[in-house]
Amino acid sequence: MERLNWLVNRGVDEERCGNEAVAMVPPDVPAKVRRFHKQIPGFRATPLKSLRRLADMFDVGGIWVKDESQRCELTSFKVLGGSYAIYQLLKRRLGEAGELSFAELTSPRVREEVGSLTFAAATDGNHGRGVAWAASKLEQQAVIYVPRGTSPARMGAIRSHGAEVHVVDGTYDDAVEQIQHDAEDRGWVVVSDTAWEGYEDIPRWVMQGYSTMFAEAQEQLVGVGVPQPSHVFLQAGVGSLAASAVAFYRCLLGKHAPQFVVVEPSKAACLFESVRIGEGKPYKFAGALDTIMAGLSCGRPNPLAWRVLRDCAQFFVACPDYVAARGMRMYAVPLEGDPFIVSGESGAVTLGVLSFVMQRPELAPLRERLGLGKESEVLLINSEGNTDPDHFRQVVWEGAHAVPPGVTVSAASG
């Protein structure tokens, strides 16, 4: 039976970590990024929710959930990255060194100068939806490639912003390769959340764009009297989200940054495997990547994100799909007094992992290594809401992907 695996990253290097973090999210960048996001019409900070009763059950100081299911009505954090990258791209095209307002970006002058553009992205759904949304706000075109097996609901959500959607007969990694070729032939501007040789600026902007989420969370924590999280659990596909969090906190807090736990599906654990191999370089994860965590179904780490995670992130976890499904049900049926949170497969996996770490006897060594206890303030990111309604109901109503007998967690714990 497939189980949750974890490892301690022996490659953490304080000095290199500091340098990589500053290169990724320079200290002045989060405030600039936030100023840009704040002027998008309808933009609001997402809530930070406290699972007080669950924290008591698990005997930790606090469990805090940054709820990205409510981000700009797009149900995922991804729009933060795509929109900021497109903003930077347009600024570069216009030769503008300073900041540009959203109103200027959508003005006839800018449209005339940049002309008509087609933004292209490969996606499991959420990134493509963010790019399509940003392109439509700027009255530009978007073409989005999705891997085989992408749910009709996810494709429909992208099309609802006026984008063209093409299904590539392969995985997310194949879609990334395909779009590089097609974009070159057709003059599209690729807005990718992963990097490759010679293509780094845009994915770096995407990662910088995500910093708004952590800047908001940090401000919200301080607002309720918690100076900082002690632990951050981060779900990873190509690793851009996780690297953005690590770089943000590392630049803000230096050596007092929280402990980071990077979580992937066992069926697409490219970062976990790269750390396990321990040669300091990213490895491609072989296999069909057929996990229910569609947003994390990536076989090739983002090389930029990899460098930050390799040098800074202390713990890596690879987990079966049933861990994510348990997280979805825990969010959907909270303890009395805790808020109800809508969380999809990739969003919920970190709560699933936390519950296993706190409740499964064989994970006591990980619990101890992490130092999780009464003083701990744990930050989780609910990175998506209900992005695939049919599957959401199968998991939450029908109990699909149940925790196998023999692995069930002790109800009496806590």
Ligand X SMILES: Cc1ncc(COP(=O)(O)O)c(C=O)c1O
With respect to ligand X, which residue has the nearer C-beta, 226 or 313?
Answer: 313
With respect to ligand X, which residue has the nearer C-beta, 122 or 226?
Answer: 122
In whole angstroms, the minimum distance from the beta carbon of 379 to ligand X comes to 15
In whole angstroms, the minimum distance from the beta carbon of 365 to ligand X comes to 26
In whole angstroms, the minimum distance from the beta carbon of 381 to ligand X comes to 8
With respect to ligand X, which residue has the nearer C-beta, 288 or 364?
Answer: 288
Alpha-carbon span 136 to 175, nearest angstrom: 22
The candidate with the shortest Cα–Cα distance to 238, out of 201, 217, 269, 213, is 269
In whole angstroms, the minimum distance from the beta carbon of 177 to ligand X comes to 16
Active site residue 390: no
Is the distance from CB of 255 to CB of 228 less than 8 angstroms?
no
The residue number with the shortest CB distance to ligand X is 295
Active site residue 182: no
**How does DSSP assign 283-338, residue by residue?**
-PPPS----S-GGG--SS--HHHHHHHHHH--EEEEE-HHHHHHHHHHHHSPPTTS
With respect to ligand X, which residue has the nearer C-beta, 295 or 299?
Answer: 295
C-alpha gyration radius of the chain? 20
The pair of three-digit structure tokens given for residue 394, joined into one six-digit string: 């199968």
Q: Which helix (H) or strand (E) holds 129?
A: helix 126-137
Q: Which residue has the tokens 């692995």?
A: 407
- Set 49, 66, 67, 124: catalytic member: 124
The beta-carbon contacts of 39-46 under 8 Å, at least 24 apart in sequence, are 39/101, 39/102, 39/103, 40/72, 40/83, 40/102, 40/137, 41/102, 41/137, 42/72, 42/73, 43/72, 44/72, 45/216, 45/220, 46/70, 46/71, 46/213, 46/216
Is the distance from CB of 272 to CB of 209 less than 8 angstroms?
no
With respect to ligand X, which residue has the nearer C-beta, 295 or 320?
Answer: 295
In whole angstroms, the minimum distance from the beta carbon of 237 to ligand X comes to 3
With respect to ligand X, which residue has the nearer C-beta, 154 or 360?
Answer: 154
* Beta bridge partners of residue 242, listed in sequence order: none
Q: Which residues bind ligand X (CB under 6 A)?
A: 76, 78, 124, 126-127, 193, 235-242, 295-296, 298, 346-347, 383-384
- Set 49, 66, 78, 137: catalytic member: 78
Helix 345-359 × helix 321-332 angle, to 10°? 90
With respect to ligand X, which residue has the nearer C-beta, 239 or 320?
Answer: 239
In whole angstroms, the minimum distance from the beta carbon of 178 to ligand X comes to 17
Alpha-carbon span 261 to 354, nearest angstrom: 10
In whole angstroms, the minimum distance from the beta carbon of 298 to ligand X comes to 6
Name the burial class of residue 85, with classes exposed (0-12), middle (13-18) and buried (19+) by CB atoms within 10 angstroms of its CB: buried
The residues assigned a catalytic role are 78, 124
